[in-house]
Amino acid sequence: MARTTLGIRARAVRVAAVGASATLMLSACGSTDDNAGSGGGGGGEGKVGVILPLLTSPFWQSYNDYVPKMAKSEDVDALKTVNSNSDPAQQITDINNQLNQGVKGLVVAPIDSAAISAGLDQAERKGVPVVAVDVAPEKGKVAMVVRANNVAYGQKACDYLGDEIKSGKVVQIMGDLASVNGRDRSKAFRQCMKEKYPKVKVLEIPAKWESDTAASKLDTLLNSNPDIEGIYMQAGGVYLAPTLQTLKAKGMLKQAGAKGHITIVSNDGIPQEFEAIRKGQIDATVSQPADAYAKYGMFYIKAAMNGEKFKPGPTDHGSTIVRLPNGMLEDQLSAPLVTKENVGLFHDSDD
């Protein structure tokens, strides 16, 4: 059963969906600017390939569950999803395989922001539009990037930890720095701490979105820094369980409010994080919209296959389309901070 990763946002998405294909406001759609995006040859018909980066994370499992539902709601003929198993080279092969099957559109969640360009080039040569989800490619051509503001993820985590801790040591368990998401979150957190909370010392663990790597490196770091006061996990889907297990094994997992509690902020917004907040094991998460990623991935690929173009501006679903430095357009979806104060507004089941 698909599990909703957000409450308020899920209801907002449903409201936005009312009215058949949730069209964008004129300020965000229908541009005649040929550089605004890459469209298909028109018609909007044909199979759509959907390629995942991995399926070992609860976040991507949730996204995978939403894809067929959102494809149906957006009248997109989506093929069964393909899992690239965290291998950038395999993802390029998967893209080529889908193109050879004659798909007319692709929705891809890139593993590596640079490596994905080879697949995007293949799609462009065949005239197949592509929508990128969650990760913005460094180069290549896409109709739209559907992604939350990852700089805001790092900044929100920084502000929460900085306000709680004031001074002392915190560690950020980083994602893969080959991904723009990992780079954006890491840089934003680091700069925010330096500028706003200079008495907080930031220690870093490059963990490549790998749970085992996060656990072993956190264990080693805690041995030499038992006075850690805060942790920022850039991906609760892969880092939550190993982090809690490592802290528990060392006798350092204390409930929020108790003496010795380590303040923990996460990213993802999966049900396991909400439950950990309710239990007082972690303090907050910046919630990614797995359902909205699936919904608007389907919405934009359908529009691109119909030859529609886009331009920067506000949308009718509470987000803003921005132009990235590389010229690509990105629909930056909302990602709220969830804490013990508002976690009751979030749910983990479809209703």
pLDDT tier, 35 (very low <50, low <70, confident <90, very high otherwise) = very low
| Distance (Å, whole) CA 268 – CA 288 | 5
- As given in the structure block, the two tokens for residue 61 are 């499992």
Question: Quick check: 123 pLDDT over 60?
Answer: yes
Question: Quick check: 302 pLDDT over 60?
Answer: yes
Contact by Cβ (8 Å): 50, 228? no
Among 86-90, 177-181, 220-224, 345-349, the minimum mean pLDDT is found in: 345-349
CA distances from 331 to 133, 142, 164, 176 (A): 10, 12, 32, 22
**Residue (of 26, 21, 42) closest to 311 by Cα position:** 26
Domains delineated in the chain: 8-148+289-333 (3.40.50.2300), 150-287 (3.40.50.2300)
Question: Quick check: 152 pLDDT over 80?
Answer: yes
Instruction: List pLDDT tens digits, range 154-180.
Output: 999 999 999 999 999 999 999 999 888
What pLDDT, on a 0 to 100 scale, did the predictor assign at position 289?
87
| Distance (Å, whole) CA 136 – CA 216 | 29
- At residue 102, what are phi and psi to the nearest 5 degrees? 85, 25
**DSSP strand pairing (168-174 vs 144-148):** unpaired
Instruction: List pLDDT tens digits, range 312-323.
Output: 999 988 899 999
What pLDDT, on a 0 to 100 scale, did the predictor assign at position 37?
43
Q: Where are the beta strands (DSSP E) in 61-109?
A: 77-78, 82-83, 105-108
Contact by Cβ (8 Å): 185, 176? no
Alpha helices in the chain (DSSP H): 8-17, 58-73, 88-100, 117-125, 150-165, 180-196, 211-224, 236-249, 271-279, 290-305
Question: Quick check: 129 pLDDT over 50?
Answer: yes
Q: Is the dihedral of CA 303, 308, 313, 316 positive or negative?
A: negative
What pLDDT, on a 0 to 100 scale, did the predictor assign at position 198?
97
Question: Which residues are paired to 284 by β-bridges?
Answer: 265, 339
Starting from the edge strand earliest in sequence, which strands make up the sheet with 284-287, in order? 200-206, 168-174, 228-233, 263-268, 284-287, 337-339
pTM of the model: 0.76
Question: Quick check: 5 pLDDT over 90?
Answer: no
Q: Give the chain's mean pLDDT.
A: 88
What pLDDT, on a 0 to 100 scale, did the predictor assign at position 110?
96
| Distance (Å, whole) CA 250 – CA 132 | 40
Question: Quick check: 351 pLDDT over 80?
Answer: no
Q: What is the mean pLDDT of residues 271-289?
A: 94
